[in-house]
């Protein structure tokens, strides 16, 4: 599942209900707007959360929820100036690994950010 949340503050319960009802393996979200000042819970039961909050200003941020039963790890992204998050899900029974990722390019991003993409 993919969605652009444009702030998760008032949507967390709805997201959790949809994810649990539809039983998605991976949920990808852009424009989380999470940060240290929020007090809501980001956890969804049965899922491992990977997140990258925007550092320089309000808004933005990306997240990946991966079903806990899947063996997943976060992959290193080379720059904090790009809102990008990648994971690897280990394949089962000699199947290939699956790479998942989410990137968000905010409006008015500078040329340096564009080059990093």
CA 93 from chain center: how many Å? Answer: 27
Domain range annotation of the chain: 2-116
Q: Whole-model pTM?
A: 0.74
2-116 folds as Deoxyribonuclease I; Chain A (3.60.10)
Give me the tens of pLDDT residue by residue for the chain, a chain 117 residues long.
767 666 555 667 777 777 778 888 888 888 776 665 554 567 788 889 888 877 666 667 788 889 999 999 998 876 667 788 889 998 887 788 999 888 887 777 778 777 776
79-104 b/e (C-beta count within 10 Å ≥ 16 → b): eeebbbbbbbbeeeeeeeeeebebeb
Which sign does the torsion angle of CA 70, 25, 34, 113 carry? Answer: positive
């Amino acid at each position: 599942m993919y969605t652009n949340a444009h702030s998760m503050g008032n949507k967390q319960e709805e997201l959790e209900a949809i994810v649990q009802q539809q039983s998605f393996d991976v949920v990808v979200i852009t424009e989380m707007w999470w940060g240290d000042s929020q007090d809501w819970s980001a956890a969804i039961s049965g899922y491992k959360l990977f997140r990258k909050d925007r550092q320089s200003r309000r808004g933005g941020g990306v997240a990946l929820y991966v079903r806990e039963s899947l063996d997943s790890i976060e992959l290193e992204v080379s720059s904090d100036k790009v809102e990008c998050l990648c994971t690897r899900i280990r394949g089962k029974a000699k199947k290939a690994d699956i790479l998942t990722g989410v990137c968000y390019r905010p409006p008015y991003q500078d040329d340096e950010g564009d080059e990093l993409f």
